[in-house]
Amino acid sequence: MDGVLRVLVVDDDEEDFLILRDLLADYPQGRFELDWVATLAEGVEALRANRHDVFLVDYHLGPDNGMDLVRMAVTERSAHRPVIMLTGHGNPDVDREALAAGASDYLVKGNIDAEKLARSLRYAAERARQMAQIEDGKRRYRQLFELNPFPIWVYDADTYRFIAVNDAMVANYGYSRDELQGMTVFDIRDADEAERLKAYLPGRAGYSGGAGVWRHRRKDGSLLWAEVTGHPVELNGKACRMVIAHDITAQRAAQERLLLLQRAVESSMNGIVIADAQAADLPILYVNPAFEALTGYGSDEVMGRNCRFLQGDETRQPELEILRRALAGGEDCNVILRNFRKDGELFWNHLFISPVLDEGGAITHFVGIQNDLTERRQVEAELAYAANHDPVTALPRYPILETAISSLLEREGTELSLLFIDIDHFHAINESMGHIIGDEALRLVSERLRDVLGGPGYLARFAGDEFVALVPDATPAEVLEVAEALRQAVAQPVTGDGYNLFLTASIGIARSPIHGCTGTDLLRRAEAAMSRAKREGRDAVCEFSTAQMQELEDRLVLGARLREAVSRNELQLHYQPQLDAGSRRITGFEALLRWNSADLGPVPPGRFIPIAESLGLMPELGLWVLDEACRQLRAWRDQGREGFTVAINFSAHQLQRPDIVQRVREALERHGVPGAMLEIELTESSLMENVDRVKGRLAEIKALGVSLSLDDFGTGYSSLAYLKQFSLDKLKIDRSFVTDLPGDAADAAIARTIVAVGHELRMVVAAEGVENQEQADFLREMGCDELQGYHFGRPAPAAEIEARFPRD
């Protein structure tokens, strides 16, 4: 040991200190520096000051014991500052006590010489130094093992059991130390991985270094990938191995994600291109196989180039400016570009561009994703064509022609004629010969019409067997010539495989500006003219007339007013009496709708009823009539009037309503009217629509107590088979068979037949349109049960008709 050994003597006798100092002063081998204190307290203070290498302590320190200093040195972990006990005479018990307390040596004052004292001091100092090194090694071990952030464990090389584990392993694997010390290295692995370890370990007992990547399992079952390093160590005389595990689970997951992304990019059906955003002209760094397939260029042909080469000569596309702005601003964008493949073929490229940012937010790359829209564009074009063109005739549909009409009418001074062409009775062709032959006939007819007009530009299929044609800038005479040529073209025989068809067409003409200044006006008026051609016998050409225009305008005006008539309280019921043919006593009234318009004055039923039917207003008006009739019945009942019925008319549309039975029930209940006081008049035509449905609804209405009558019998189907099916209560002879009675023998025969049929079917038979006494007597004599007509009273408001009730 080099240098001066610093020694502190703790002895209450200074003579003893001087003797010790003199002994060491004369000793030639070693240099010693001795200090002296006399009390235990001073010795403790010096021990804590840590300025001496060895302490020589007398066993007896006055009232104190030097052994306390030894114990304090051990307790305060100052054992590396050794304490040698001194005593005046030898005592084995004191010797054992001193060594047990932690003293480095035990010396008897009378038996000390210079060599012995020096050797004891050097031995104590050397032992203290070694102990300090051991403690330092332990401290380093704790830092390397216990405090290491990586999981570390030591296992027995023979049993493979864990001997020591650090905190990082406990934290990472989820097991406690006690649990791990009862486990082997195989227990933190799946069975297949444990077998791999068993195959790996033989012959590697002395190997030190990396052992590769292993798959471990935590206590909770989660996966942990560890990159392992192993070293041979000896612990308590046993051959062991120390393992350091670097958890690379997150790194491996990131690598797997990166690999997955790479595979996804490589296998994507969309072309993907990556360009360097920090290099001039944004050169291409990467393209995937789909890009190569889409463009026909190999990756080696495009590396380092700007993507603009795909544009060919199409460098002025509007979408390119959007793309340039997005690249300059580092923004996302998507554009549809016309690009060209390597072979020069055009393709529609739906391009999505996104910037890639680094950790600092700087743009490093641009990623482009390409989607070939060429096929979709073709399909869209085909669908657009199909949506705008008729598949049978290949003619444009009317909305396309409507656009052309608007364009033509916008030209100043343009006169445009619109022709509405309807193939007469064409539905019979479809019904008798089938739609295949019908479609072929329409195709041939459309070709003839195009030939007459000089091309398809001004011809469209409107619907079914209807066509619309335009003739711009032609005189009325020229338009009539074209229309006649179209009619004659349709009239040419249509010959097919085993059939000959002879078709005709009804054509209506409307001209701007005299018949209208919009496409809608011209179409509506040309269609009205076509309808007149049909009424006049078909296979004809009719031009829209001033009278027709007035009729249409009248219809529009009346229709608009009629829709508001209910809310404006302009409707009223007039009642016409029905009398017993024999006693001439009133049996009931027929309620007839009247309209007194605030703007137009009284409007005759013959004028507004057809308009209501054509506009679909009859169900709404019919419900008003039903409610008003029940209200009036309630009022008459409140006046004590009984023993009569009120008849209202139901239209065909009204009878088809799914809620009509419920509406009748609600009206009766709302006004507290018994069903027996209400009679519903039906026409033959209303019974013929959806016979089974009508039959069921009439049965439900009759179940409410309401009676049913058939109006105008003899003018429609007059089917006795249908008459038998419906549970009708009354049959009304139409006025057309009453007008010429009794002079017309034919009418008289028909009337007698209707009376006989009605009575055979146990129905009341009534005659309407009775205008004189002679007719009334004649009908009574033939057996008619009830009479109605102007002879007995015209329809009148309820207030006036009340005077007709019999007085009690």
Question: Which tens digits make up the pLDDT trace of 294-321?
Answer: 999 999 999 999 999 999 998 889 899 9
Total-model pTM: 0.44
**Cβ contacts of residue 115 below 8 Å, gap of 6+?**
27
* Higher-confidence position of 327 and 806: 327
Instruction: Measure the CA–CA gap between 647 and 592, rounded to whole angstroms.
Output: 9
* Higher-confidence position of 261 and 591: 591
Which band of pLDDT confidence, cut at 50, 70 and 90, is reported for residue 78?
A: very low
**Distance (Å) of CA 407 to CA 411, 473, 524:** 7, 13, 18
- Least confident span in 91-95, 226-230, 506-510, 646-650: 91-95
Which band of pLDDT confidence, cut at 50, 70 and 90, is reported for residue 591?
A: very high
Which pLDDT does position 532 carry in this prediction? 86
User: Using an 8 Å Cβ cutoff, are 271 and 248 in contact?
Assistant: no
User: Using an 8 Å Cβ cutoff, are 241 and 190 in contact?
Assistant: no
Mean pLDDT of 622-646: 92
Residue at token pair 């068979």: 737
* pLDDT over 60 (residue 183): yes
Which pLDDT does position 47 carry in this prediction? 82
Give pLDDT tens digits for 703-723.
999 999 988 776 655 556 667
Residues pairing with 577 in the sheet: 589
Instruction: Measure the CA–CA gap between 347 and 729, rounded to whole angstroms.
Output: 77
Mean pLDDT of 417-438: 87
- Least confident span in 14-18, 320-324, 722-726, 755-759: 722-726
* pLDDT over 90 (residue 56): no
* pLDDT over 90 (residue 670): yes
Instruction: Measure the CA–CA gap between 351 and 295, rounded to whole angstroms.
Output: 13
- Least confident span in 347-351, 410-414, 451-455, 640-644: 410-414
Phi-psi region of 465 (alpha: psi -120 to 50; beta: other; left: phi over 0): alpha
Give pLDDT tens digits for 437-469.
889 999 999 999 999 988 655 899 888 899 999
- Count the Cβ atoms, other than its own, within 10 Å of residue 614: 11
User: Using an 8 Å Cβ cutoff, are 615 and 658 in contact?
Assistant: no
Mean pLDDT of 71-93: 73
* pLDDT over 50 (residue 400): yes
Which pLDDT does position 273 carry in this prediction? 92
Amino acid at 313: D
Which band of pLDDT confidence, cut at 50, 70 and 90, is reported for residue 797?
A: very high
Cα within 13 Å of Cα(60), Cβ side: 8
Burial class (CB in 10 A: 0-12, 13-18, 19+), 54: buried
Residues pairing with 765 in the sheet: 731
Helices (H) and strands (E) in the chain, counts: 29, 34
Which pLDDT does position 298 carry in this prediction? 93
Q: Name which of 189, 288, 315 is nearest 297 in CA terms.
A: 288
Local structure of residue 161 (DSSP, 8 states): B
Which pLDDT does position 548 carry in this prediction? 62
Instruction: Measure the CA–CA gap between 310 and 333, rounded to whole angstroms.
Output: 18
Instruction: Measure the CA–CA gap between 310 and 292, rounded to whole angstroms.
Output: 12
Cα within 13 Å of Cα(361), Cβ side: 0
* CB < 8 Å & 24+ apart, contacts of 397-402: 397/460, 397/461, 398/460, 398/461, 398/462, 398/463, 398/468, 400/460, 401/458, 401/459, 401/460, 401/468, 401/470, 402/519
Mean pLDDT of 492-512: 88
Give pLDDT tens digits for 524-568.
889 989 988 888 888 999 988 766 666 666 677 777 788 888 888
- Least confident span in 32-36, 236-240, 384-388, 545-549: 545-549
**Cβ contacts of residue 542 below 8 Å, gap of 6+?**
506, 507, 508, 509, 529, 530, 532, 533, 536
* pLDDT over 70 (residue 153): yes
**Cβ contacts of residue 669 below 8 Å, gap of 6+?**
none
Residues pairing with 228 in the sheet: 212, 245
Instruction: Measure the CA–CA gap between 677 and 3, rounded to whole angstroms.
Output: 141
Which pLDDT does position 796 carry in this prediction? 92
Which band of pLDDT confidence, cut at 50, 70 and 90, is reported for residue 807?
A: low
Give the 3-state secondary structure of residue 542.
Answer: strand
Which pLDDT does position 721 carry in this prediction? 61
Structure tokens at 449: 């019409």
Which band of pLDDT confidence, cut at 50, 70 and 90, is reported for residue 79?
A: very low
**Distance (Å) of CA 653 to CA 544, 564, 609, 685:** 30, 20, 13, 11
Instruction: Measure the CA–CA gap between 355 and 615, rounded to whole angstroms.
Output: 62
Which pLDDT does position 806 carry in this prediction? 63
Most confident region among 20-34, 109-123, 521-535, 558-572 by mean pLDDT = 521-535
Which band of pLDDT confidence, cut at 50, 70 and 90, is reported for residue 137?
A: low
